Each structure stands twice: as structure tokens, then as C-alpha cells.
């Protein structure tokens, strides 16, 4: 998906990981799959869950919970795989993201999107492309490219911390107004 159309379409797909809600631009999500059998690849990092057959092609699947420092996904009825497009060092690749549940498609106007927070650990905040605010609820819009360019596990608690900080600030701001 080109940069232009990504800017025009303002739909975001929200999904749940544990107790936290994240959002991704729909332009990045190609498909939502039900959980299927995953072929494990030996000697890979823990969060690399394995590979699946996506219409005759091999799709790597990431256990997003492990990548975010949570316990591995407990398979349930709602567990899904989001087939998303990420850009890793200039190359567009498809990656399957295991998530606990897919929520809904959000319409986010430009006003709802807050800039990435400048507070907190600068390195960590680069994984957030925006904070979104819908009906006083905050979502973290993830920067997929940055997430997958890093081989490390990311501590989710830091992300949520940043989120609560941002929401506090915006509350303070609105009070001042």
C-alpha cells in the first residue's frame, strides 16, 4: 500500500493482547486468519512461533505476546493471526501476528491521533507511531516497521506506561483549556 492511500484511509484495526488494546492501520493488514497449526522452526528466537502455509507461500508467524514480554499466547477461540505487511530494512515482507483477539475497525480522524510521545525512554517510544483517542479511551498505534527491525523483546509494561503518561498529560491539557 502506498504512502498516499495510507494517509487517506483513516481506518485502524484494533486488537487485544492480554488486557491492552493496540491499533494498526488497515492498509498494513492484508488478512485475518483463524489460528491454525504452526510448523515450528528450530533454533529460532522464542517469539518466532514458526511458519504457516498462506496460499502456497510460507508465512512466518510471530507470537506477539512473547515479543511484548508477556507469557506465550494461550490458544483460545478468539486467537487470530493478522497477516501484516512490514518494512524491514527497505524490504516489504508479510508477517503473521498472533493476537489474543481482533476487536474492531476504528475510524480515526487526524484530530484523534496524538503525536508519538516524547516522554519516557526515547528508544522505546519509537515503536509507537501515534496515540489514538476514541471516546476517552486511548489506543497505541504501533509502528510495525520499527518493531520488527529490532530483534529484541519489547517490554510491554513500558509501552503501557508511556500510554498512561500521555493520557494524563492530555487530561491535564484539556483541563487547562
CB nearer another protein, residue 68 or residue 139: 68
- Nearest-angstrom CA–CA distance, 139 and 124: 16
Residues that bind another protein (CB under 8 A): 37, 39-44, 48, 51-53, 56-60, 62, 88, 91, 93-95, 148
Q: Smallest gap, in angstroms, from Cβ of residue 31 to another protein?
A: 16
CB nearer another protein, residue 61 or residue 106: 61
Q: Smallest gap, in angstroms, from Cβ of residue 54 to another protein?
A: 10
Q: Smallest gap, in angstroms, from Cβ of residue 59 to another protein?
A: 8
Q: Smallest gap, in angstroms, from Cβ of residue 81 to another protein?
A: 14
What H or E segment, with its residue span, contains residue 145? helix 144-149
In contact, 62 and 97? CB cutoff 8 Å: yes
- Nearest-angstrom CA–CA distance, 109 and 134: 10
- CA-wise closest residue to 127 among 142, 117, 149, 148: 142
In contact, 6 and 25? CB cutoff 8 Å: yes
In contact, 99 and 61? CB cutoff 8 Å: no
CB nearer another protein, residue 95 or residue 108: 95
CB nearer another protein, residue 88 or residue 172: 88
Amino acid at each position: 500500500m502506498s504512502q498516499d492511500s495510507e494517509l487517506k484511509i483513516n481506518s485502524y484495526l484494533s486488537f487485544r493482547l492480554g488486557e491492552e488494546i493496540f491499533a494498526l492501520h488497515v492498509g498494513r493488514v492484508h488478512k485475518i486468519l483463524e489460528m491454525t497449526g504452526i510448523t515450528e522452526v528450530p533454533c529460532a528466537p522464542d517469539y518466532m512461533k514458526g511458519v504457516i502455509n498462506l496460499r502456497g507461500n510460507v508465512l512466518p508467524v510471530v507470537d506477539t505476546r512473547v515479543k511484548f514480554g508477556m507469557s506465550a499466547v494461550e490458544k483460545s477461540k478468539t486467537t487470530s493471526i493478522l497477516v501484516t505487511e512490514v518494512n524491514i530494512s527497505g524490504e516489504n515482507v508479510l508477517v503473521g501476528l498472533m493476537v489474543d483477539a481482533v476487536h474492531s475497525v476504528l475510524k480515526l480522524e487526524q484530530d484523534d491521533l496524538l503525536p508519538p510521545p516524547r516522554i519516557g525512554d526515547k528508544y522505546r517510544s519509537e515503536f509507537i507511531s501515534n496515540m489514538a483517542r476514541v471516546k476517552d479511551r486511548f489506543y497505541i498505534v504501533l509502528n510495525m516497521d520499527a518493531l520488527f527491525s529490532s530483534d529484541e523483546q519489547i517490554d510491554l509494561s513500558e509501552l503501557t506506561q508511556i500510554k498512561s503518561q500521555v493520557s494524563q498529560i492530555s487530561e491535564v491539557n484539556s483541563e487547562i483549556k
